[in-house]
Structure 1
Amino acid sequence: MVVGDIATGTDVLVIGGGPAGYVAAIRAGQLDLDVTLVEDDAVGGTCLNHGCIPSKALLSATDVAHDAANAEEMGIHADPAVDLSGMQEWKGGVVDQLTGGVEKLCKANQVNIVEGRAEFAGEHEARVVHGGEGQGSETIEFEHAVVATGSRPIEIPGFAYDDEPVLDSRQALALDTVPDSLVVVGAGYIGMELAGVFAKLGTDVTVIEMLDQALPGYEDDLARPVKKRAEELGVEFHFGQTASEWHHTGDGTVTVETEPAGGAAADGGEQAEVEDAESEDAEDEGLSLQAEKVLVAVGREPVTDTVNPEAIGLEPDDRGFLQTDEEARTDVEHVFAVGDVAGEPMLAHKGSKEGQVAAEVIAGEPAALDYQAIPAAVFTDPEIGTVGLTAEEAEAEGFEPMVGEFPFRASGRALTTGESDGFVRLVADEESGFVLGGQVVGPEASELIAEIGLAVELGATVEDVAATVHTHPTLSEAVMEAAENALGHAIHTLNR
């Protein structure tokens, strides 16, 4: 203990107040444990304050403006004016409402919230340093600890986030003026979501990706409609390239230099096409791209260095993650890790479930993690939702997959919304009929994937899904029709 510290004790110390941490704290409080939650920024973490919620707010707002301006086919003619500062004020109100709600829930469940940065100081001891001059520090003794410190944007060499034109996702989401032009480094889900936001606001957007397609890691037929829609919005793509440096051009813009990604580009095909005005072959030479701002969105890394893990015997792996078992427990018996620090997939809802499990295990309740039915969503235009196994993954695991699909162009509800790109795909086991997974690209995919996730979790069969009467006309009918298609008796599409 440091001289001058205030010493307190708690049953459960939760380090980090994001969706994983605050869920762990609230659930532990519900189970009558004494809980202390330490957060050094704002309760709600990156997700509520600077990530998931702010980005979806801007996505929704820009969709309203874009849809209104492009609804001539429906007989609607409009030219909406966008006030980005006003949009940011509205977004801030949404964030404040949610974070305020989380704080109230914590207090209602007797969670003691402490502002500061916590780091381990011994086997059952942590030191919390409070921000601000003269605020001091305190020592907290605990029986159990839950590490929920989240993740941060990966910074690439030569593109420091404290350089004014270079932005991480948090800074991009806080802009109150629309940049005329933007280079996005990385075509993953963050890069593609924000590329869409700014393209709909009128920004000239160029995306650089070292691999051979947008949204690498997703199946090609899921990513293709997203790339096509982005190109329709004016987004330009350069694949097989990495950003190497940037420099000011003297007129309020910067020039971003790229170089070939060293063999990462594909041999060809629609996804690997590179349109380069300076060079016919972007794989052989780099590019010079001019823009007002540069958004670096190449992924996120776990934040474990701030908690002094060595002091309690924790050893992060070579990527910085803390390894855990099915109870969210680390190698140190009384220490748990939840959320992004516990490894892939780095999803808020996965972290929340881990936080709940950790709290219940600490309280002596039977609880364990089951990752087979954790969905993932990309909030691009159109959206992507996935859960469980793909057909290829199912085959690799020894199943004989049966697959059913239904295109949104055959959905009456999709056509009435003007959004009919994409499809629903259901993957099941031929022998047993059990639903193994599904993939959706199209309108409201992030919502539709929940039904398939429930089928996987419950061990439902494809016959169960097909036999469930769905309201007409709805987008969810596409899930039923995909199940019927797998069985060979879909009504509103040709059977496979």
Structure 2
Amino acid sequence: MAMALARRSKNLYSCGVLRYSLSLTSFSRGFASAGSDENDVVVIGGGPGGYVAAIKAAQLGLKTTCIEKRGTLGGTCLNVGCIPSKALLHSSHMYHEAKHSFARHGVKFPSVEVDLPAMMGQKDKAVANLTRGIEGLFKKNKVNYVKGYGKFISPSEVSVDTVEGGNAVVKGKNIIIATGSDVKSLPGITIDEKRIVSSTGALALSEIPKKLVVVGAGYIGLEMGSVWARLGSEVTVVEFAPDIVPSMDGEIRKQFQRALEKQKMKFMLKTKVAGVDTSGDLVKLTLEPAAGGEQSTLEADVVLVSAGRSPFTAGLGLDKIGVETDKIGRILVNEKFSTNVSGVYAIGDVIPGPMLAHKAEEDGVACVEMIAGKAAHVDYDMVPGVVYTHPEVASVGKTEEQVKALGVEYCVGKFPLLANSRAKAIDDAEGLVKILAEKETDKILGVHIFGPNAGELIHEAVLALHYGASSEDIARTCHAHPTMSEALKEAAMATYDKPIHI
């Protein structure tokens, strides 16, 4: 058995598992007033990076205050992003399965219909429970929580305009900027969250649009387009680039797009929006080829603008204290998340790296551990990415295109879910697992999974990459039968030798 499990010389930090308390029912508007006492750590922003950093700092014995302008914790992810979108993705998938798949399993209904208010209610309930759960964790760990908009008045002082209408000054020896990101706007398109919506508006539509146009074929646009397509919308995705999800492995991307097209989503690639007219009953988009050419029009009831996100640093007073940013507004930090201003740090979406909630959490833990004098490290090459459509797409490490660009000799192993017994048994066998490994050493370089539950299956691969495992290590690890995880084992067998079941 190949033993490629030598631990890294770097000290990896313990991620920890945060469990939300879902039984808490009532909370105060704030846990303590923001007095003049100096904190060891002040966190500006209560999203995944900020609240995790605050809890970890408190667990390390540091006096900690977290400032959040929204009035509820969890940031974009929990309030208007990851959590509500996954709630709607699951609800819409259940409806789609009931309408199109249940009969094949011998489960029949006279009719199936969508109760959109109930669906939205379930989503809102999940969000409310989780935000209250984080407040409970703050209380448990003695994190001071200040609700309001914070801005620097010095490198060690933050002025907070509170949600109650007052003002307070919060002092800290170390201040962490964790303000996340905001929707990236497009020239000539005004988002009103009614007919032209961001992801926030797309999560709260009051009725199912007959025609939905999604501008942008990234993770968020495809997920939200998938929700409304399942519920009956005619969905067209307009993308400036020649491919959907440009960061995705090319082979996986092609199969993914074909799967979405089978679900009746339409794609207009290499196309840009030249103009928008909202004067009529329908929104009229003027389109033209990305390289220039003849214009065309496309009408929609609702247009979702999903062209990415930008770091949110507006109004923080960064210029007042001299914090350096790059040309697109990201805060520049060193390997310890420290800015050029002593005592000021930044994590999550406001700094370079993938704009993902779990990346922000890792940043937060590592940052406060280093503030506390411990060793910590985050490797952005080992941050998994997931698209929560159905089938899902999940990946970690290098794509085949990236490996080729590096000039590394490599082997590829693939296994189709059509040959996986669990996938066939449940009649959900679209997809494959693909593994890339260095030819000489068999060290795994990247893993890409397209199929049901890919977002859960990927973490075996994440752990393997962290420990420098070979494909043979996974192949010779016993996997329970019948499970979809066996497809990963078989793909690993195909990488270093030969699979059994194809």
**Same fold, judged at TM 0.5 (above):** yes
Aligned amino acid, residue 170 of structure 1 = T
Distance 1:99 1:445 in 2: 26
Deviations 1:265-295 (A, max 9, x none): xxxxxxxxxxxxxxxxxxx322211111111
1:398 CA drift (Å): 5.0
1:187 alignment partner in structure 2: 217
Deviations 1:216-242 (A, max 9, x none): 221232122332222222222211211
1:361 alignment partner in structure 2: 370
User: Is the aligned partner of 1:21 residue 2:50?
Assistant: yes
Distance 1:216 1:397 in 2: 18
Task: Note the 1:74-153 alignment, pairs <5 A.
Answer: 74-78=105-109, 79-132=111-164, 135-153=165-183
User: Is the aligned partner of 1:217 residue 2:247?
Assistant: yes
Distance 1:446 1:173 in 2: 21
For residue 405 of structure 1, give the secondary structure of its aligned residue in structure 2: strand
Task: Note the 1:333-482 alignment, pairs <5 A.
Answer: 333-482=342-491
Distance 1:477 1:163 in 2: 44
* Stretch deviating more after TM superposition (323-332 or 394-403): 394-403
Aligned amino acid, residue 56 of structure 2 = R
User: Is the aligned partner of 1:332 residue 2:341?
Assistant: yes
Q: 1:56 aligns with which of 81, 86, 98?
A: 86
Distance 1:367 1:303 in 2: 26
1:395 CA drift (Å): 4.3
1:240 alignment partner in structure 2: 270
Distance 1:337 1:326 in 2: 11
User: Is the aligned partner of 1:176 residue 2:185?
Assistant: no
% identity of equivalent residues: 41
1:260 CA drift (Å): 2.0
Q: CA RMSD in A?
A: 1.6
Aligned amino acid, residue 152 of structure 2 = F
* Stretch deviating more after TM superposition (425-434 or 69-78): 69-78
Check the 8 A contact 1:8/1:139 in 2, yes or no. Answer: no
Distance 1:473 1:50 in 2: 37
* Stretch deviating more after TM superposition (324-333 or 301-310): 324-333
For residue 353 of structure 1, give the secondary structure of its aligned residue in structure 2: helix
1:248 CA drift (Å): 3.2
CA 305–249 in structure 1, closer or farther in 2 if over 3 Å, else same: closer
* Stretch deviating more after TM superposition (71-80 or 254-263): 71-80
1:267 alignment partner in structure 2: none
Deviations 1:328-360 (A, max 9, x none): 222223111111001221011010000000111
Distance 1:219 1:399 in 2: 16
For residue 372 of structure 1, give the secondary structure of its aligned residue in structure 2: helix
Aligned amino acid, residue 136 of structure 2 = K
Check the 8 A contact 1:225/1:382 in 2, yes or no. Answer: no
Distance 1:238 1:372 in 2: 31
Check the 8 A contact 1:6/1:137 in 2, yes or no. Answer: no
Deviations 1:185-234 (A, max 9, x none): 11111111111100000011111111112222212321223322222222
Check the 8 A contact 1:437/1:453 in 2, yes or no. Answer: no
1:247 CA drift (Å): 1.8
Deviations 1:415-437 (A, max 9, x none): 12222122101111222222222
Aligned amino acid, residue 108 of structure 2 = H
Task: Note the 1:314-329 alignment, pairs <5 A.
Answer: 314-329=323-338
For residue 120 of structure 1, give the secondary structure of its aligned residue in structure 2: strand
Deviations 1:164-189 (A, max 9, x none): 41100011101132112111111111
* Stretch deviating more after TM superposition (225-234 or 420-429): 225-234
Instruction: Return the structure number with greater relative CO, CA threshold 8 A, min gap 6.
Output: 2
1:271 alignment partner in structure 2: none
Deviations 1:378-424 (A, max 9, x none): 11222111111223423444532122111111111111222212210
2:63 alignment partner in structure 1: 34
Check the 8 A contact 2:160/2:170 in 1, yes or no. Answer: yes
Deviations 1:51-104 (A, max 9, x none): 000000000000000011111333333432111111111111111111111111
For residue 39 of structure 2, give the secondary structure of its aligned residue in structure 1: strand
* Stretch deviating more after TM superposition (343-352 or 213-222): 213-222
Aligned amino acid, residue 32 of structure 1 = G
Q: How many residues align?
A: 466
Aligned amino acid, residue 14 of structure 1 = V
Aligned amino acid, residue 214 of structure 1 = I
Distance 2:234 2:407 in 1: 47
Check the 8 A contact 1:16/1:150 in 2, yes or no. Answer: yes
Deviations 1:287-332 (A, max 9, x none): 2111111110000000012211122220211011112222222222
Distance 1:354 1:391 in 2: 27
Gaps of 5+ in 1: 264-283
For residue 116 of structure 1, give the secondary structure of its aligned residue in structure 2: strand
